[in-house]
């Protein structure tokens, strides 16, 4: 199970390139993990990777978030639903083509 307490370790195991995102988040939040904000940061990271043709990073980001949806506790799954899935489309430069990379469960959640 992925919890707020294990989230960062799980993320960095799946996506070592996310280290900078985590570091910046913790710096901005004075060392506190605010999972909803970090999930929104991961959305921006995935979009940027996708648009920069770093499709492997974009795909691993999406696979990790999809795993959080499937294996996360209530807090983690809520952060995925609200701050990643529902947040999609609210930022600049979020191409519709990025959605073709989304695993089925994330796309289904987007359709709800």
Q: What is the pLDDT of residues 78-91, one digit of tens each?
A: 999 999 999 998 87
* 57 vs 63: CA distance, rounded Å: 10
Predicted local confidence at residue 86, as pLDDT: 93
Q: How far is CA 48 from CA 40, 58, 102, in A?
A: 12, 8, 15
Predicted local confidence at residue 93, as pLDDT: 73
DSSP, res 82: I
Predicted local confidence at residue 43, as pLDDT: 95
Q: Is a pLDDT exceeding 90 seen at residue 69?
A: yes
Q: In the chain, how many domains are there?
A: 1
- The percent of residues above 70 in pLDDT, for the chain, comes to 100
Predicted local confidence at residue 111, as pLDDT: 82
Domain residues for 59? 4-110
Predicted local confidence at residue 40, as pLDDT: 95
Give the mean pLDDT of the chain.
94
Q: What is the mean pLDDT of residues 20-32?
A: 95
Residues β-bridged to residue 72: 2
**Token reading at 100:** 């073709």
Predicted local confidence at residue 85, as pLDDT: 96
Predicted local confidence at residue 52, as pLDDT: 95
The whole-model pTM stands at 0.94
**Token reading at 2:** 């992925």
């Amino acid at each position: 199970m992925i919890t707020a307490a294990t989230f960062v370790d799980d993320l960095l195991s799946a996506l070592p390139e996310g280290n900078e995102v985590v570091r910046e988040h913790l710096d901005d939040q004075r060392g506190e993990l605010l999972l909803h904000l970090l999930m929104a940061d991961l959305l921006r990271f995935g979009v940027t990777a996708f648009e920069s043709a770093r499709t492997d990073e974009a795909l691993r980001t999406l696979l990790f978030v999809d795993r959080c949806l499937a294996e996360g506790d209530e807090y983690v799954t809520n952060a995925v639903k609200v701050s990643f899935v529902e947040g999609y489309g609210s930022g600049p430069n979020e191409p519709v083509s990025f959605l073709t990379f989304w695993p089925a469960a994330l796309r289904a959640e987007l359709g709800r």
